[in-house]
Amino acid sequence: MLFTQEHNEIRRTVRQFVEQEINPNVAQWEADGRFPMRDIFRKMGALGLLGIHKPEKYGGLGLDYSYNLVAAEELGTAWAGGIPLAIGVQTDMCTPAIARFGSDELKREFLAPSITGEAIGCIGVSETGAGSDVAGLKTTARKDGDDYIINGHKMWITNSPQADFICLLANTSDDKPHKNKTLIVVPMNSPGITLSKHLDKLGMRSSETAQVFFDDVRVPQRYRVGAEGTGFMLQMLQFQEERLWGAANTIKALENCVNETINYCRERKTFGQPLIDNQVVHFRLAELQTEIECLRALTYQACELYVAGKDVTNLASMAKLKAGRLGREVTDSCLQYWGGMGFMWDNQVSRAFRDVRLVSIGGGADEIMLGIICKLMGTLPGKKKSPVAAAPAVANAELASQEALK
Ligand SMILES: Cc1cc2nc3c(=O)[nH]c(=O)nc-3n(C[C@H](O)[C@H](O)[C@H](O)COP(=O)(O)OP(=O)(O)OC[C@H]3O[C@@H](n4cnc5c(N)ncnc54)[C@H](O)[C@@H]3O)c2cc1C
């Protein structure tokens, strides 16, 4: 990917923002289990960083996705994954469908303030009984006059404790599971919405996560994104940006780990010589850096094709899979060279070890990515009703969704 001066400028701006506004506070925010999201979002909004590839009409910079990818990659220099995650939810998880398929009114009411940082958004897909199996979700939105009445719950919802709106996937009919869903934007101050206490997580400690309950929540039908019954398709498309963002954001987080480990191994001496001088150590770190470059190349390639308007289901799934797998490998290997220091809770590499673990689970687990890739490789066995067939079912649906939108 050839970067322009503008790409480099965005990269520099994000890097500076992370160095000045985020990294000095990370230790405190991790301990608090939250960060001043409104303040950070407003500052990012003022710099144009929350709407890089969103339409200018609604306050975005109107640039193509490659500029956003550069920002996602650079956000990976934050010393805690929780803060980039909260930002990524806003820019690449709860707003892409609104930007592409929402009405003008919806965009003015929810997209525009999320670009300035005045409004915080979250995405409500997963439920306790439906994470990988998105089609199996149970939350309903039944019509009542001009409104929807929503009942159900959403689990593990990042940003929800501070969010102003949720982009919610709910069943709006009794049709087949891939045709009965609709994306609806729901203001979080609507009567009938309650939240669990903050969920206590292994990593991503500074991001806020909760369960959201809907008890006869009334919203106007005009808050629907796109046509009724297209929600599953729109969410699968929205996942493409989520997965590209996730892969890009992981690159620099892993590079940070390798660089910090090199620095540590230069200083730390065992048996009279710096750790880094052991061939097993410097060779291993060189191997990990090579793998990171492979992830970068794959992610950039997926991005280039996405910008060119191509279907990147395969490459985005591969990049997400590779990011998750490599994230576990890099953080585990690096942590080892820190010895006992690597086992300390506040160590930067141990934090990355915990944070990066989410990449293989959230936004479609590794096995779901493998199911999609296998489907496209033509290696999936025919449809079966056994539980093992669940991933192919999701992959089929994701692909069917892409086809239906062409
Ligand atoms: C910190 C955090 C933040 C999150 N934020 C959000 C959010 O903001 N919004 C939101 O909607 N969701 C969010 N999620 C939910 C996340 O997307 C789901 O956890 C994820 O999709 C996996 O679903 P699940 O946990 O129900 O796992 P399950 O579906 O129960 O699967 C469990 C495991 O089984 C394996 N597996 C699943 N299916 C198959 C198969 N067919 N074949 C082989 N193996 C399989 C996978 O390894 C998977 O990890 C978040 C989760 C976490 C932990």
More confident residue, 396 or 339: 339
How many whole angstroms from 362 Cα to the centroid of ligand 1? 5
Q: Looking at ligand 1, which atom is closest to the CA of residue 169?
A: 11
Q: Using a 6 Å cutoff on CB, does residue 132 contact ligand 1? A: yes
Q: Percent of the chain, pLDDT > 90?
A: 93
φ, ψ of residue 308 in degrees (nearest 5): -80, 0
pLDDT at 1: 79
**Chain centroid, CA 104 distance in Å:** 25
pLDDT at 183: 98
Q: Per-residue pLDDT tens for 257-302? A: 999 999 999 999 999 999 999 999 999 999 999 999 999 999 999 9
Q: Per-residue pLDDT tens for 328-361? A: 999 999 999 999 999 999 999 999 999 999 999 9
Give, in order, the Cα–Cα distances in Å from 151 to each of 100, 338, 400: 26, 49, 28
Cβ atoms of residues 82 and 35 within 8 Å: yes
Sorting pLDDT into bands at 50, 70 and 90, what band is 382?
confident
Of the ranges 120-134, 245-259, 380-394, which one carries the lowest mean pLDDT score?
380-394
Q: Classify the phi-psi angles of 48: left when phi > 0, otherwise alpha if psi is within -120 to 50, otherwise beta.
A: left
Sorting pLDDT into bands at 50, 70 and 90, what band is 2?
confident
- How many CA atoms are closer than 13 Å to the CA of 51, on its beta-carbon side? 29
Q: Is residue 384's pLDDT more than 60?
A: no
Q: Is residue 400's pLDDT more than 80?
A: no
Give, in order, the Cα–Cα distances in Å from 207 to each of 33, 172, 198, 362, 387: 7, 31, 10, 14, 33
Q: Per-residue pLDDT tens for 103-135? A: 999 999 999 999 999 999 999 999 999 999 999
How many whole angstroms from 363 Cα to the centroid of ligand 1? 7
Q: Per-residue pLDDT tens for 52-73? A: 999 999 999 999 999 999 999 9
Q: Using a 6 Å cutoff on CB, does residue 204 contact ligand 1? A: yes
Give catalytic residue positions: 242
What's 127's DSSP letter?
B
Q: Looking at ligand 1, which atom is closest to the CA of residue 364?
A: 21
| For range 38-43, the mean pLDDT | 98
Q: Tell me the two tokens of residue 118.
A: 């005045």
pLDDT at 383: 61
Q: Using a 6 Å cutoff on CB, does residue 365 contact ligand 1? A: yes
How many whole angstroms from 131 Cα to the centroid of ligand 1? 5
Q: Using a 6 Å cutoff on CB, does residue 390 contact ligand 1? A: yes
Q: In sequence order, what are the residues at sequence separation of 6 or more whose Cβ sits closer than 8 angstroms to the Cβ of residue 387?
A: none
Could you give the CA distance from residue 393 to residue 177 in angstroms, rounded to a whole number? 11
360-366: long-range contacts (C-beta < 8 A, 24 or more apart)? 360/324, 360/325, 360/327, 360/328, 361/324, 362/156, 362/246, 363/93, 363/239, 363/242, 363/243, 363/246, 363/320, 364/132, 364/239, 364/243, 364/317, 364/320, 364/394, 365/131, 365/132, 366/321, 366/324, 366/325
Sorting pLDDT into bands at 50, 70 and 90, what band is 88?
very high
pLDDT at 95: 98
Strands 224-225 and 181-187 come out as antiparallel
* Residue to probe by mutation, ligand 1, list 126, 168, 181, 366, most atoms within 8 Å of CB: 126
Q: Using a 6 Å cutoff on CB, does residue 202 contact ligand 1? A: no
Give, in order, the Cα–Cα distances in Å from 21 to each of 41, 163, 197: 11, 21, 27
Residue bearing the CA closest to ligand 1, atom 7: 157
| For range 170-184, the mean pLDDT | 97
- Quote the crossing angle between the two packed helices 366-377 and 313-337, to the nearest 10°: 140
Q: Is residue 390's pLDDT more than 90?
A: no
Q: Per-residue pLDDT tens for 211-232? A: 999 999 999 999 999 999 999 9
Q: Using a 6 Å cutoff on CB, does residue 131 contact ligand 1? A: yes
Could you give the CA distance from residue 17 to residue 78 in angstroms, rounded to a whole number? 10
Could you give the CA distance from residue 305 to residue 34 in angstroms, rounded to a whole number? 36
